[in-house]
Amino acid sequence: MPNAKKNKTVRVALVQMAMHDAAEVNLKKALRFCRDAAEQGADIICLPELFLGPYFCKTETPKHFDRTEPIPGPTTDAFAPLAAEFDTTLILSLFEKRAPGLYHNTVALLDGTNGYIGKYRKMHIPDDPMYYEKFYFTPGDTGFCSWNTRKAPIGTLICWDQWYPEAARLTALKGAEILFYPTAIGWLASEKEQAQTQHNAWETIQRSHAIANGCFVVAVNRVGYEAVPADETPEIDAGIGFWGQSFVAAPNGEVLARASSDQEEILMVDLALEMIEEARRWWPFFRDRRIDAYAGLDRRFLTD
C-alpha cells in the first residue's frame, strides 16, 4: 500500500456511545453514528471499546463468550459498505472468536474501498475488581501495529494499553502518526471520592504519549452507567459509571477537543499532520533515545 501523504489535514471522528443490552441495537446505532460522521467528512472514525454491548467483564460469567465472532466476520461485513461508500477508515473494537475457547479483545480496521486490512489484539489485559478481563481475553499476539491507511499512518491500541509508554512508543516507532485508543473506562460507586484523580491520571498519561512520541492521540470512551445484570452477583459494587470525555491530544500535549462526561455525541476534530514534523524538530526525542542502554526493558524487574 502506498505511504499516506504528509502535510495535510485529517478529520477524525470520535463516536462516544452509551450501550444497550442488545447487540443489534448497538450495531444500528453505531452504523448511524458512523454514517453521520462520514457525511460530515470524517476521514477516520473510531468507536469505543466493545461497542456491541455492555461492558460484560464486571463479572466472570461464561455466557458472555456467546458474544464472540470471527474477524473478519458479520460486523466487519456490516460496516464495509459504509467504509467503501465514503472511502473512510473505520476502527471497530470487537470480541473476537479465534477458535473454540480462544478469544481476544480485538480492533478490526476497514480502510475505505480497500475494505478489511487487518487487526490488532489487545496486548495488556487487566484483572481488577469489575474489570475481570483475564477471564475472557487471551493476551494479544499481533505485536504493536501501524497501518498506512489511505488518509494517514495510524496505530490502534485498546483501553488498558493506554497506560503503557512502551506500547505507545513501539507503535509510533512503526510509523503511526495518530494513536487511537478505543476505551471503556469509568469509576465504581465506591470510588467516587477518587473520581477526578482517576480521570486526570487517565488523560495525563495519554497526553504524555502524544508529547513523548510527537504524535496525535485519540481516546474514544463510552458513556453512561452500566449496572451488573440481576443474574450476576456483583462483588463490591452495583456497576460502573463510564465517564465519557473522549478527547484528542496534539503532539505538544494540548487537548484539541473533549467530549462531554454524560452525553452520546460525535466529536469531529481536524488534525494538521504537519504539527508532527514541527514537534519532533523542537523536541527530538526519537533522535536522542539511547537505544544502546534500554536492554533492561525486556525484563520484569531489574533486581531479580
Confidence of residue 3 (pLDDT cuts 50, 70, 90): very low
Confidence of residue 257 (pLDDT cuts 50, 70, 90): very high
Angle among Cα 253, 258, 264 to the nearest 5 degrees reads 150
SS3 74: helix
Catalytic entry in 34, 57, 145, 159: 159
Kind of pairing between the strands at 89-99 and 44-46 = parallel
- Average pLDDT on 204-217 reads 98
CATH topology of domain 9-298: Nitrilase/N-carbamoyl-D-aminoacid amidohydrolase (3.60.110)
The answer for residues whose C-beta is within 8 angstroms of residue 133's C-beta and 6 or more apart is 57, 105, 125, 126, 127, 160
Reply yes or no on whether 46 is catalytic. Answer: no
Cell numbers for 165, please give them. Answer: 509508554
Q: Which helix (H) or strand (E) holds 141?
A: none
* DSSP E strands, the chain: 9-16, 44-46, 89-99, 102-111, 116-121, 127-128, 131-132, 146-148, 153-156, 178-182, 186-188, 216-220, 223-227, 239-243, 247-249, 255-258, 265-272
What is the spatial distance between Cα 264 and Cα 244, in angstroms, rounded to a whole number? 8
Catalytic entry in 58, 97, 119, 122: 122
SS3 104: strand
What is the model's pTM?
A: 0.95
Reply yes or no on whether 159 is catalytic. Answer: yes
Catalytic entry in 34, 46, 49, 151: 49
Q: Mean pLDDT score of the chain, rounded to an integer?
A: 94
Least confident of 2-16, 29-43, 83-97, 177-191: 2-16
Q: Choose among 130, 157, 135: nearest CA to 146.
A: 157
Reply yes or no on whether 122 is catalytic. Answer: yes
